[in-house]
Amino acid sequence: TRKAFIFDLDGVIVDTAKYHFLAWKKLAGSIGVDFTEHQNEQLKGVSRVKSLEKILAWGNKTISEAEFTKLMALKNTDYLTYIDKMDEQEILPDVTKTLDFLRNENQHIALGSASKNARMILEKVNILEKFDVIVDGNDVTKAKPDPEVFLKSAQHLNVPPEHCIVFEDAVAGIQAANNAGMISIGIGKKDILHEADYVFTDFTEIDIDFLNELISK
């Protein structure tokens, strides 16, 4: 059967999760809030607005709406200085191989990301054309773990949720996939992503037999 394979972007296709972390850390520091790498797991996969809300809550801060908007812009400007330097080298191991295999097997390929910078990043690393459908932070109103971003991808492709497979590095993203009624595959650590149907450290661990199994199910 023709399945839809939906990829998250940050932390799955490229290691921009580290850049988000650095930019949020700096921004938080500038308003006297500190957070740990453990807390950072809760920022993965969620929107820019929601991330700043969480950081403010951790620091017990309340700010004006104008200040909030300013801080979001500052974070993004800083983040973009990292993105600006990106090229194909930053595509994570075996991601391209997996995309090409799925394309060759005539499977649907989609991007489901909370990021408003998604298209730009895919262009930078030169894999934009490998995706049939892109749903990103500009297309959704509800942040992961809400399933909106993945359900929209599935709708565009006209594939029922139970025929969709989602690759995610974030707890909120795995929850979003599960909430959508899709198969969830965690990319990262088993203890963090324990709600996923399957977990792999990275794409080098995902072999052809496993992908074929998902396709033929």
User: Catalytic residue numbers?
Assistant: 8, 10
For residue 165, report the phi and psi dihedrals to the nearest 5 degrees.
Answer: -125, 125
**Cα–Cα distance measured from residue 151 to residue 176, given in angstroms and rounded to the nearest whole number:** 9
Q: Which of 3, 25, 48, 124 binds ligand G6P (CB under 6 A)?
A: 48
Of 3 and 144, nearer to ligand G6P (C-beta) is: 144
Minimum CB distance to ligand G6P, residue 10 (Å): 4
**Stretch of 26-34, 96-104, 120-128, 164-172 lying at the interface with Mg ion (CB under 5 A):** 164-172
List, edge to edge, every strand of the sheet that includes 198-200: 133-135, 108-112, 4-7, 164-168, 183-187, 198-200
Length of the chain counted residue by residue: 217
18: Cβ–Cβ under 8 A, 6 or more apart, which residues? none
Query: Token digits for 120?
Result: 């730009």
- Give me the 31-70 binding string for Mg ion, x by CB under 5 A, dash otherwise: --------------x-------------------------
CB 113 within 8 A of CB 11: no
Nearer to Mg ion, 110 or 170 (CB): 170
Asked whether position 175 contacts ligand G6P by CB under 6 A, the answer is no
Sign (positive or negative) of CA dihedral 60, 66, 69, 73: negative
- Please indicate if the annotation marks 169 as binding a ligand: yes
Residues that bind ligand G6P (CB under 6 A): 10, 17, 20, 43-45, 47-48, 51, 76, 113-117, 137, 170
Annotated binding site for substrate: 8-10, 24, 43-48, 51, 75, 113-117, 144
Annotated binding site for Mg(2+): 8, 10, 168-169
